[in-house]
Amino acid sequence: MKEIYIKHIAGLLQLKAWQVENCAEMFADGDTIPFISRYRKEKTGGMDDAQVAEVRHWADVFDEMEKRKDTVLKTISEAGALTDELRTRIENCVSSTELEDIYLPWRPKRRTRATVAREKGLEPLADILWNAAADAHAEAEKFIGEGVPSADDALAGARDILAERFSETAEIREELRRVFRTRRIRSTVTKAGRDNPEAAKYRSYFDFSFPISRIPSHNLLAMLRAENEGYLNIEIDADPQRCAESIYRFWAHGRRIASKASAEEVRAAGEDSYKRLLEPSISGEIIREAKQKADIESIRVFGENLRQLLLSPPLGQKRTMAIDPGFRNGCKIACLDEQGRLLHHTIIYPHPPQNDKVKAIMSVQQMVDSYRIEAVAVGNGTASRETVEFMKRIRLPEGCKVWTVSEDGASIYSASEIARREFPDEDVTVRGAVSIGRRLMDPLAELVKIDPKNLGIGQYQHDVDQNLLREQLDNTVESCVNSVGVNLNTASPYLLAYVAGIGPALAENIVATREKKGGFRSRGELMDVPRLGAKAFEQCAGFLRIRGAENPLDNSAVHPESYGIVDRMAASLGVSTRELAGNAELCSRIHAGDFVNDEAGLPTINDILKELAKPGLDPREQASEFSFADDIRSIEDLKAGMELPGIVTNITNFGAFVDIGLHENGLIHVSKLGPRGTDPSKVLKLHQQIRVRVLDIDLDRRRIALGLLK
């Protein structure tokens, strides 16, 4: 990577140039983000995976910019206009906006008014006006001829050329950007918005303005969605007269004006340039710039929500009864073994209209006993509360608890190709119930099968830059999977695909090899997997776990490249590696500095010692019980001032949505979470159990305003 890019990225991300350079070199060598952040801390200075991912993002951006520069240089060169100075300017660009400004005069464009004027031979007249050294009208008469019937027509054509020239001047464009960035963005309702009831949800924006530099992301994204739907008009309130005057001043600065008439022609060209060319272009740029900031913020919130969701506490390997509740269509039940394999499924009808409670109780009791059920997972959709109440009539084994599980995305999964491959002989209702049960056992392993956009945790996720969103979500899933670690002998190919260095094809090969071998006994056996070479092994090995392996380090986050270090640590204490692994007291006797060498610095040694003390420790918290208020069944039961238990279901920039056991979620507005500027994600976490106070109930719009109880 070029030095100019390295320095720019370092400044942008507040890193040292050597950190960026080392990351870029490792990316070029095929190293992955999780591997770099976990096992190459000496080279990164301890950068976390989010920082490494940022460097990777900008490295990709500048790779694309280099390709764009090649196109720009080639086009200008073919036009015979490429000077050494221009080449240097282009090669030193780190801003795509600056690069496109430089390229603008040579960029292929559609036929314009200026193009027509040039074809009529009016460019020399435009140059005369530009220099303001001669009388405009007298000079214009010299250009009367075919296609130019009068001096006024000649001047009009020359003004078109000047207007385009102004619009392609980088300094003018940058000055107008500076002005527009200080202005307010305004939205007003269209006739379609006034007449269409669907537009009512946007009524806050029917007459709205806000400084564009500070507009909250959710406000801007809502406005742009409404504009796209035809309900709003959006503009930036820059003063046309002052902007046009600034164009004229740019031209006049330091210039000796011999002809006032020519100067007035230039002024008119500047006004036309602003109104017809610059204002639409710059306004669109600044709005896109603001949207890009809003996208980044919205995607950040989505990514943080996704991280919290994926790292939700797992219940662990327990024989589970999963229930997808319903009224008319009944409750779909799936019984799963400790590994989440389907043992049995059926449907019961304990609720209206059938009300077949006795038969349902007998059926469920028989399944609980026959399949030795240790936990019950109930989806949180329709009839969830009623089904949880129904389960209280069942004689459950000691320690067996009933859990409410989010159904978001379960229907998407059940109809997906993944679900069809897992359960080719079952219908969507069975697959959905299985997904609910597996989510309780291990949310991460199950949720990786679902597109995060379908998990109900985003903020305008369908309106933001989809490439940026996919990059963030992929990075987040990859980070979560690798931070937890994956059981090599039980993981699905969909989970294995997110392990560093593997991907979908290798994941399928790993599963096929596992089935053929009857399981892996050591990490070294990964080299038996077709197409899994030394590089892939280096990247993935430290994130894969083998329980009961002969070498205990194979069930830890210690990388195989460091096994020799651990052996030396054990030898220094006169014990075996097996005796050292998991013995925190023995680990505490080791002095990290004694084992630092050229390959492993102090950060790596400290990580090894931390892992040895508790090998394979799952960083996720333990699942905890929760129940809603028994006496609240509908929004009509609520009264202002009530204090209720709730679960955070989504976090946005404008507040947090909370499930209090009703069909409608309540909202804790950001203003109720702390002083102005409070980030809701810093106050609350997804699926956090909290207590709230009901502040207001809007029955017409089915909205509930909540406050957070400390």
pLDDT digits (tens, 9 = 90+) for 464-482: 999 999 999 999 999 999 9
**Do residues 603 and 645 both lie within one domain?**
no
User: How far is 476 from 44, CA to CA, in rounded Å?
Assistant: 20
- Residue 9: what pLDDT? 98
In the predicted model, is pLDDT for residue 624 greater than 90? no
- Residue 460: what pLDDT? 83
* Short-list 81, 84, 82, 21, CA closest to 47: 21
User: How far is 629 from 689, CA to CA, in rounded Å?
Assistant: 13
**Do residues 434 and 506 both lie within one domain?**
no
- Residue 45: what pLDDT? 96
Taking the mean position of all CA atoms in its chain, how far away is CA 67?
26
Q: What is the CATH number of the domain that holds 688?
A: 2.40.50.140
At 690, is the secondary structure helix, strand, or coil? strand
**Do residues 117 and 96 both lie within one domain?**
no
Which of the listed residues 59, 79, 106 is the one where a domain comes to its end? 106
Residue 626: pLDDT band by 50, 70, 90 thresholds?
confident
Report the chain's C-alpha Rg in angstroms: 33
Residue 513: CB atoms within 10 A of its CB come to: 17
Residue 180: pLDDT band by 50, 70, 90 thresholds?
very high
**Do residues 285 and 136 both lie within one domain?**
yes
User: How far is 3 from 117, CA to CA, in rounded Å?
Assistant: 44
**Do residues 372 and 413 both lie within one domain?**
yes
Q: Is residue 471, in this structure, part of any structural domain at all?
A: no
In the predicted model, is pLDDT for residue 603 greater than 80? yes
Q: How many domains does the chain have?
A: 5
**Do residues 144 and 262 both lie within one domain?**
yes
DSSP-assigned beta bridge partners for residue 659 = 647
Sheet containing 342-348, strands listed edge to edge, beginning at the edge strand earlier in sequence: 342-348, 331-336, 320-324, 375-379, 401-405
In the predicted model, is pLDDT for residue 99 greater than 80? yes
Phi, psi angle pair for 109, to nearest 5° = -135, 165
Q: Is residue 452, in this structure, part of any structural domain at all?
A: no
- Residue 631: what pLDDT? 86
Residue 520: pLDDT band by 50, 70, 90 thresholds?
very high
User: How far is 127 from 548, CA to CA, in rounded Å?
Assistant: 83
CB 118 within 8 A of CB 242: no
Sheet containing 232-236, strands listed edge to edge, beginning at the edge strand earlier in sequence: 207-211, 184-189, 232-236
Q: What is the DSSP letter of 679?
A: -
- Residue 541: what pLDDT? 98
Q: What is the pLDDT of residues 380-428, one digit of tens each?
A: 999 999 999 999 999 999 999 999 999 999 999 999 999 999 999 999 9
Residue 356: pLDDT band by 50, 70, 90 thresholds?
very high
Q: What is the CATH number of the domain that holds 358?
A: 3.30.420.140
Give the tokens for residue 482.
């690798």
- Residue 710: what pLDDT? 80
Q: What is the pLDDT of residues 521-566, one digit of tens each?
A: 999 999 999 999 999 999 999 999 999 999 999 999 999 999 999 9
Residue 459: pLDDT band by 50, 70, 90 thresholds?
confident
Residue 633: pLDDT band by 50, 70, 90 thresholds?
confident
User: How far is 434 from 345, CA to CA, in rounded Å?
Assistant: 9
Q: Is residue 475, in this structure, part of any structural domain at all?
A: no
**Do residues 183 and 292 both lie within one domain?**
yes
Q: Is residue 289, in this structure, part of any structural domain at all?
A: yes
3-state secondary structure 411-443: HHHHCCHHHHHHCCCCCHHHHHHHHHHHHHHCH
* Short-list 657, 653, 663, CA closest to 222: 653
Which of the listed residues 578, 613, 648 is the one where a domain comes to its end? 613
Q: Is residue 66, in this structure, part of any structural domain at all?
A: yes
User: How far is 202 from 225, CA to CA, in rounded Å?
Assistant: 9
CB 379 within 8 A of CB 323: yes
- Residue 522: what pLDDT? 97
User: How far is 116 from 334, CA to CA, in rounded Å?
Assistant: 73
- Residue 409: what pLDDT? 92
Q: Is residue 562, in this structure, part of any structural domain at all?
A: yes
Is 392 exposed, middle or buried (CB count within 10 Å of its CB: 0-12, 13-18, 19+)? exposed
N- to C-terminal Cα separation, the chain: 50
Q: What is the CATH number of the domain that holds 271?
A: 1.10.3500.10
Q: What is the pLDDT of residues 680-700, one digit of tens each?
A: 989 999 989 999 999 999 998
505, containing H or E segment:
helix 503-517
User: How far is 629 from 636, CA to CA, in rounded Å?
Assistant: 14
Taking the whole predicted model, whether its pTM rises above 0.95 is answered as no
The DSSP code sequence of 556-603 is SS--GGGHHHHHHHHHHHT--HHHHTT-HHHHHT--GGGG--SS--HH
Q: Is residue 310, in this structure, part of any structural domain at all?
A: no
- Residue 133: what pLDDT? 85
Give the tokens for residue 193.
């918005």
**Do residues 12 and 98 both lie within one domain?**
yes
Distances, alpha carbon 297 to alpha carbons 180, 220, 303, in Å = 21, 11, 10
Residue 461: pLDDT band by 50, 70, 90 thresholds?
confident
Residue 69: pLDDT band by 50, 70, 90 thresholds?
very high
Distances, alpha carbon 537 to alpha carbons 32, 309, 527, 541, in Å = 12, 29, 7, 5
Phi, psi angle pair for 336, to nearest 5° = -120, 150
- Residue 599: what pLDDT? 85
- Residue 635: what pLDDT? 93
DSSP-assigned beta bridge partners for residue 12 = none
Tokens 């007998």 locate to 362
Residue 563: CB atoms within 10 A of its CB come to: 16
**Do residues 597 and 538 both lie within one domain?**
yes
Mean pLDDT along residues 104-121: 94
Give the tokens for residue 451.
């597109």
Q: Is residue 514, in this structure, part of any structural domain at all?
A: yes
Please tell me which residue, 109 or 596, carries the higher pLDDT value. 596
Taking the mean position of all CA atoms in its chain, how far away is CA 672?
26
Helix 466-484 × helix 279-310 angle, to 10°: 20
Q: What is the pLDDT of residues 637-676, one digit of tens each?
A: 999 999 999 999 999 989 999 999 998 999 999 999 989 8
DSSP-assigned beta bridge partners for residue 332 = 324, 347
User: How far is 45 from 14, CA to CA, in rounded Å?
Assistant: 13
Phi, psi angle pair for 207, to nearest 5° = -150, 90
CB 388 within 8 A of CB 378: yes
**Do residues 158 and 258 both lie within one domain?**
yes
3-state secondary structure 539-558: HHHHHEECCCCCCHHHHCCC
User: How far is 349 from 367, CA to CA, in rounded Å?
Assistant: 15
Give the tokens for residue 691.
């207590």
Which of the listed residues 583, 613, 643 is the one where a domain comes to its end? 613
The DSSP code sequence of 200-250 is GGGGGGTEEEEETTT--HHHHHHHHHHHHTTSEEEEE---HHHHHHHHHHH
- Residue 334: what pLDDT? 98
- Residue 663: what pLDDT? 86
Q: What is the percent of the chain where pLDDT is above 90?
A: 92
Q: What is the DSSP letter of 148?
A: B
534 CB-near residues (< 8 Å, 6+ apart): none
* Short-list 268, 223, 229, 225, CA closest to 248: 268
Reading phi first (left if > 0) and then psi (alpha if -120 to 50, else beta), residue 132 is in: left
3-state secondary structure 452-479: HHHCCCCCCCCCCCHHHHHHHHHHHHHH
Give the tokens for residue 670.
């950001």
Per this entry, what is the length of the chain?
710
The amino acid present at 562, given as its one-letter code, is S
Number of separate helices (H) and strands (E) present in the chain:
32, 15
CB 655 within 8 A of CB 595: no
Q: What is the CATH number of the domain that holds 88?
A: 1.10.10.650
Residue 530: CB atoms within 10 A of its CB come to: 11
Mean pLDDT of all residues belonging to the chain? 95
Domain that holds residue 53: 3-106
Q: What is the percent of the chain where pLDDT is above 70?
A: 100
**Do residues 361 and 437 both lie within one domain?**
yes
At 365, is the secondary structure helix, strand, or coil? helix
**Do residues 233 and 152 both lie within one domain?**
yes
- Residue 462: what pLDDT? 87
